[in-house]
Amino acid sequence: MRGTRCAVVAVIVAGLWLQSAALGNAQTLRVRSGDTIWMTETNGTLSRGVVLRVEPSAVRVAIDGREQRRELGALREMWRDGDSLGNGITWGALSGLGAGLGIGGALVALYGNEGGDVAGPLVGILGLTVGGGVAIGAGIDALVHGRTLVYRASAAKVTLLPSVTRQSRGVLMSVRF
């Protein structure tokens, strides 16, 4: 009987610990005061507001001119207006590098057959194509105004249910990741 009680207490403690770990922490959000955010609540409601301040488990936002407190536990997702140019620069550089290597390969084959030096022209081609790709990628990314995901609630859920029958007593625990 004593062992059963210890096991039940251990299950409850583990369940509560997992539940608290699943709630998240507002301090890890990548938002600042003044950012415009879009929030999707757990019931599917979408709202738009301006961040006033971030609290340990909630965000204070101005929605339609009124200050409201939104708990992270009640939110499914949070998006910030705008995104960085970093992803456009990265994709542009990679595209330019691929084009430069393709053109450079043909150049190496041509100059290699002619007996000329290929290092200088190859570096020049790679510099031009990567630089051009960076410029084009940053330009396209600057023109596209998107949203950046700053919070997504974990799907983790812990359910504890008592189980009492004539033959047994216990707790049913379900953990979803």
Say yes or no: 19 and 71 in one domain: yes
Question: Please, what is the angle between helix 86-114 and helix 119-143, to 10°?
Answer: 160
Say yes or no: 18 and 94 in one domain: no
How many Cα neighbours within 13 Å face the side chain of 45?
7
- How many structural domains compose the chain? 2
The predicted pLDDT at position 149 comes to 84
The predicted pLDDT at position 15 comes to 57
Say yes or no: 50 and 117 in one domain: no
Say yes or no: 67 and 114 in one domain: no
The predicted pLDDT at position 128 comes to 92
The predicted pLDDT at position 96 comes to 93
Structural domain harbouring 119: 86-143
The pTM of the full predicted model, rounded to 2 decimals, is 0.49
The predicted pLDDT at position 17 comes to 54
Of 150, 152, 153, 154, the residue nearest 36 (C-alpha):
150
The predicted pLDDT at position 22 comes to 44
The predicted pLDDT at position 94 comes to 94
Q: How high is the mean pLDDT in each 10-residue block of the chain (177 residues)? A: 62 56 56 87 89 88 91 87 81 92 85 75 89 91 80 76 86 76
Say yes or no: 138 and 150 in one domain: no
What's the CATH number where 162 sits? Answer: 2.30.30
Say yes or no: 78 and 112 in one domain: no
The predicted pLDDT at position 98 comes to 92
